[in-house]
Amino acid sequence: MQTLTPHVYWAQRHGDIYLRVELSDAKNLDICVEDNTLQFKAQGHGAKGDNDYEFSLDFLEPVKPEVSHRSTQRLVNVTVRKQEQRWWDRLTLQERKPLFLAPDFDRWLDESDAEMELQAKKEEKINKVSIESRIRQDPYLGLKKGYLFMYNLVQFLGFSWIFVNMTVRLFILGQDSFYDTFHTIADMMYFCQMMAVAEVINPLVGLVKTGVFPAMIQVVGRNVILFVIFGSLEEMQNKAVVFFVFYLWSTIEIFRYPFYMLACIDTDWKLLTWLRYSIWMPLYPLGVLAEAIAVIQSLPIFDETRLYSIPLPTVLGSSFSFSFTLKIYLVLMFLGLFINFRHLFRQRRRRMRSRKRKMN
């Protein structure tokens, strides 16, 4: 086989020289720098078919002797480090460019653009070091992550027990399981919802970066339904709406808590992430709708029993009915739905943007 010269394309940065050699299926590569001259030899398929190809380049300024290269099925990429980080007027010592050499416009940058790229990399490195130093300065980071991991694990186990218990009872008892849900599930739901108060405290003390207000809306709203509507009225405890409220709550949480639990150990499962940011879109409004039905069903009971009603002077009337407070709460419930839905949608959008940046 005769020896030929391949097509070579070049570009530079302040610290590096990039060469792209148009040679597919390259083998027997021999690339080195001696006396500031790059020597390239290889066998492969180039412009003249399968042959031996070689070339040499005398660099304009000193370069380091170490050469890195990476060959693909279609080409060979070669990177050479400059001795000094500076911009070269041209690549070769001789002013006249070799015929086989041409600019690599896919990687080509003017000096000003290269300087901007270099500055951006420096700023990114400084920001990364700054973030890492801030993280290292927190001596309690491991303790905080451990606490958050255990909290989310306990909540996940609690809501999983509720979900599995209700599902099994539904398959065995059918519709009959609707009417004794409270007496079977209430103790565990009480435990989980009392634990959920920590979700308001955690952002207040800086343990998590989520907003306090959305968390407070959800925790307070659920606890009103659980403790005031279901817990205080025995007449509500045997209604089917209890089943639907508990089942929707637990379905949402068995995906939310493991997502946060894995985030504490910097682990991301794509399927779980998709479920966490997608399944709430139909379930969360359905949960609020079930809560609203529970409130509406409780109104005549509160009117009849006068429970939590506030006695008033005779001039103002007999009493201030608690059902009127619940009617106001009913309006606020749907306002909270809008606020929380917008907050969760923004979280989902930020998460998807972050994933796209990582993929790019």
Active site residues: 284, 291
- Report helix angle 241-263 to 280-305, nearest 10: 140
β-pairing, 3-4 vs 49-58, is parallel
Interatomic CA distance for residues 245 and 249, integer angstroms: 6
126: tokens are 């400084």
Interatomic CA distance for residues 232 and 302, integer angstroms: 10
Find out whether 27 and 43 touch, Cβ atoms under 8 Å. yes
| Beta sheet of 24-34, edge-to-edge order | 3-4, 49-58, 37-46, 24-34
Find out whether 146 and 200 touch, Cβ atoms under 8 Å. no
Question: At residue 169, what is the residue type?
Answer: R
Q: Which is it for the CA torsion 220, 225, 227, 232, positive or negative?
A: positive
Residues 6+ apart with CB under 8 A from 64: 33, 80, 81, 82, 83
DSSP code for 92: B
Burial code of 173-185, b = ≥16 C-beta within 10 A, e = fewer? eeeebbeebbeeb
Interatomic CA distance for residues 169 and 290, integer angstroms: 20
